[in-house]
């Protein structure tokens, strides 16, 4: 699926005081415990075709009432740089999503065919299944993933054996107003910081990488960061998400 189709195929082949406030207030949702981050680099010149087909895939999933979901984001500076998020509350729920996809593909073979076509536009791809480190707080007043319009994503590749130092540095950098969520890869010394933002206009003021992580010494640490805009028409979000 774009997230789980192309990504299951490619990666393992996501009481107000007045009536007015009640309508407009949003209680931030708890961050998902499990986050699958799929990153695609599209072949040059294919981004428009990819977007057209992905939009059609979303419509096909909605028409077939398939309960498999993804959130698609695209770099504002490079249309060939794409990120998908899949969320789950537990590893068991994540596994159930995979089973749900396989059942849907068997019942609706056209979905798998569309995903196979989508994969032809992809030059390279990575998929990282992560678990949230709950000891690093996230501001309850901040925008959550369910209502974000943009996202800053930073990937840290930590040298094996230095994971503990990284987590301690992240804990020192965190505060109760932290705009970051910290996830750790389930099978590699990789950490992912995600910072949801309220509007695409905020992308020029994306939260800075915490200084304690920038200054971390010892054990070579490669960081890669980017700001991505949510693409609602190419997303198939779970119930309750307000991306559109």
Buried-state track 47-86, b at ≥16 Cβ within 10 A, e below 16: beebbebbbebbebbeeeebebbbbbbbbeeeebbbbbbb
Q: How many CA atoms lie within 13 A of 81 on its CB side?
A: 11
Distance CA 159, CA 176 (A): 28
C-beta of residue 151 within 8 angstroms of C-beta of residue 73: yes
DSSP 97-161: HHHHHHHHHHH-HHHHHHHHHHHTTEEEEEEEEEEE-TTS---TTS--TTT-SEEEEEEEEEPTT
Domains, the chain, with CATH or none: 5-234 (3.30.70.100)
- Predicted confidence at residue 35, as pLDDT, reads 97
Cα 206 from chain centroid? 16
Nearest Cα to Cα of residue 6 among 60, 84, 97, 67? 84
Distance CA 22, CA 101 (A): 36
Distance CA 111, CA 215 (A): 46
Residue 222 host element (H or E): strand 221-230
pTM (two decimals): 0.84
Per residue of the chain (244 residues), give pLDDT as tens.
544 544 443 443 333 344 433 445 556 678 999 999 999 999 999 999 999 999 999 999 999 999 999 999 999 889 999 999 999 999 999 999 999 999 999 999 999 999 999 999 999 999 999 999 987 777 756 678 999 999 999 999 998 888 998 888 888 877 666 688 999 999 999 999 999 988 776 556 666 777 778 777 766 677 888 999 999 999 999 988 988 7
Distance CA 135, CA 178 (A): 12
As a residue count, the chain comes to 244
Distance CA 30, CA 151 (A): 17
Tokens at 144, concatenated: 């959550």
Burial (CB count <10 Å: 0-12, 13-18, 19+), residue 26: exposed
Strands 221-230 and 71-75 come out as: antiparallel
Integer-rounded Cα radius of gyration of the chain: 18
Tokens at 110, concatenated: 């056209």
- Predicted confidence at residue 4, as pLDDT, reads 52
Distance from the first to the final alpha carbon of the chain: 20
Q: How open is the CA angle 184-189-191, to the nearest 5 degrees? A: 35
């Amino acid at each position: 699926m774009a997230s789980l189709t192309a990504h299951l195929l490619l990666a393992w082949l996501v009481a107000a005081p007045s009536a007015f406030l009640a309508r407009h207030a949003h209680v931030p949702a708890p961050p998902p415990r499990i986050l699958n981050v799929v990153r695609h680099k599209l072949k040059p010149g294919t981004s428009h075709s990819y977007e057209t087909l992905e939009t059609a895939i979303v419509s096909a999933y909605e028409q077939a009432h398939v309960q498999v979901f993804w959130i698609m984001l695209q770099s504002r500076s490079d249309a060939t740089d794409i990120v998908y998020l899949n969320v789950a509350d537990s590893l068991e729920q994540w596994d159930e999503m995979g089973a749900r996809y396989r059942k849907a593909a068997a019942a609706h073979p056209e979905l798998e065919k569309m995903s196979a076509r989508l994969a032809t536009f992809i030059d390279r791809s990575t998929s990282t299944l992560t678990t949230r480190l709950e000891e690093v707080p996230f501001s309850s007043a901040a925008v959550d993933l369910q209502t974000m319009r943009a996202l800053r994503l930073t990937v840290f590749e930590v040298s094996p054996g230095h994971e503990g130092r990284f987590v301690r540095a992240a804990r020192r950098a965190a505060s109760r107003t932290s705009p970051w969520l910290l996830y750790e890869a389930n099978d590699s010394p990789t950490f992912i910081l995600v910072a949801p933002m309220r509007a695409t206009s905020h992308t020029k003021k994306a939260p800075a990488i915490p200084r304690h992580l920038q200054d971390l010494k010892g054990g070579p640490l490669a960081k890669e960061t980017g700001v991505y805009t949510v693409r609602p028409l190419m997303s198939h979000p779970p119930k309750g998400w307000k991306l559109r």
